[in-house]
Structure 1
Amino acid sequence: MAQAKNDASKEAKKAAKAARKAASKEQRQQIWQAFNMQRKDDKALIPLMIGVLALSVLVFTLIGVFVGGLWFMVVIGVAIGLLGAFVLFTRRVSRSVYKKAEGQPGAAGWALSNMRGQWRVQQAVSGTSQLDAVHRVIGKPGIILVGEGTPSRVKPLIAQEKKKAARVVGDTPIYEVVVGNGEGEVPLSKLERHLKKLPSNIDRDRMEALDGRLAALKAKGASGPAMPKGPMPQGAKVKNMARTARRRGGAA
């Protein structure tokens, strides 16, 4: 029996190793695809990446000349230059994707669902037949109602959702955000940053409790017409590639 357990353990380790290898290969393929897509639209990408690498090597070479350890400094310069070029690449990919997605129905919901961190996102808790929508986010700041569409239609929707939520969330802060480029609105590309700048008011346990209460409230109510939970904006796949790239860059 002990032998059987050892064999099973070896098989499990082998399978896990194969799965990690396959996932790593898929990530590399995604990054390569994202790079090829970006360089076709962004002619400055490759020159800028080469410039970052060259500048890093030059700086560390000069340090090596004056301080000592020339070849060691050159190696460090190459490593840091490659990392810097990679970071530049992922940022330009992200910027390009947000630019393509901006103004498309469902873009704000898609951006919210791709946020990193402890956020509970419920897309399109209410909407209109004109594809206006309000998304609900639960995070450490509290409740955040994010509207996208025509402001004159979105703001009343947010007010309705705020009134509903206030009945069950107690003294939890409720924030209102309208995505757009007008006065008092938050651009799509700055939405995640805006939410992360909000003050931390509740802990994780409170977030879980609020999520349950609001889910129950949602179940009792009727769904709004034509709520745009998608489709995913053009370029969303590239954003997922960029997120994968950032993770790999952080690991490096």
Structure 2
Amino acid sequence: MARKTSENPGRLAQIAQTYKMTRQADPKVGLIVAAVGIVTFGVILALGFLIGHPIWAGILGFLLAFLAMAVIFGRRAEKAAFGQLEGKPGAAAAVLQNVGRGWTVTPAVAMNKSQDVVHRAVGKAGVVLIGEGNPNRVKGLLANEKKKVSRIVYDVPVHDYIVGTAEGELSLKKLRTTLLRLPRTLTGPQTTQVNDRLRALGDPMSKLPIPKGPLPKGMRMPKGR
């Protein structure tokens, strides 16, 4: 019992923190979520009166209203979180570190004086290099890093992307989904071997100031289209 009691305040505090963050970027989030809940409950309850089962409809309406509110709040919180990360140094690294189990992320494996940067993620899909910064500069940085990686793990797929909003670039909110949708070509032990071999490239050039702040837990980011 004591364990459950100690966990609940943490969960409530996390929800409150996420709501506070979301409200800063989306001031109407409270009204919108409340409206969704009220409308959902009202519609289900009205149908219950029509069919002669208002009590059961009220219970069902309450559950569906709560579910609808949670879904809408989650989506708006996710959008607000990405909005705060967009354009900040290390934003891609912050998203990569939330990709999930099975991925080893190394931020800032390459960087230039203008702070354009390349991050590396290794998983069962192979090696993924993510460049962020000025597109014209980061292309060369990304190409050089891909050559280095390919020389060491020549038998492993190496994918590369540039994070941004321009045509041909990968948006921040689609980064996680893109990685998770890549075809799996390696086993767990092979992934470990790839990581070991890549250590030959040395430690990251620098540690970027990865944006801090609450990211909605279980964000599953992003549910890209």
- Bin the TM-score by the shorter chain: 0.7 to 0.9
CA distance in 1, matches of 2:195, 2:52: 58
Partner amino acid for 2:186?
A: I
- Structure 1 residue 157: Cα displacement: 1.8
Partner amino acid for 1:60?
A: I
Q: Cα 1:178–1:57, aligned 2, differ >3 Å: closer, same or farther? A: same
CA contact (8 A) 1:110 1:230 kept: no
Match of 1:160 among 127, 130, 144: 144
Can you list the C-alpha shifts for 1:114-151, whole angstroms capped at 9, x where unaligned?
Answer: 22342211111111121111111112321110001112
Within the alignment, does 1:237 sit opposite 2:199 as a pair? Answer: no
Worse overlay, 202-211 or 147-156: 202-211
CA distance in 2, matches of 1:199, 1:75: 44
SS at match of 1:209: helix
- Structure 1 residue 106: Cα displacement: 1.1
TM-score, normalisation: structure 2: 0.86
SS at match of 2:36: helix
Within the alignment, does 1:103 sit opposite 2:77 as a pair? Answer: no
The runs of 5 or more residues in structure 2 that have no matched partner are 221-225
Aligned to 1:218: 201
CA contact (8 A) 2:91 2:210 kept: yes
Q: Where in structure 2 are the equivalents of 1:34-73 lying within 5 Å?
A: 34-67=18-51, 69-73=53-57
Instruction: Compare CA radii of gyration and give the structure with the larger one.
Output: 1
Q: Where in structure 2 are the equivalents of 1:90-239 lying within 5 Å?
A: 90-215=74-199, 217-219=200-202, 224=205, 227=206, 229-233=207-211, 236-239=212-215
CA distance in 1, matches of 2:4, 2:153: 42
Partner amino acid for 2:16?
A: W
CA distance in 2, matches of 1:172, 1:20: 45
CA distance in 1, matches of 2:192, 2:47: 52
- Structure 1 residue 36: Cα displacement: 3.0
Which structure 1 residue ranges, 4+ long, deviate > 4 Å from structure 2? Answer: none
Worse overlay, 65-74 or 127-136: 65-74
CA distance in 2, matches of 1:67, 1:201: 54
Aligned to 2:73: 89
CA contact (8 A) 1:93 1:238 kept: no
Q: Cα 1:100–1:214, aligned 2, differ >3 Å: closer, same or farther? A: same
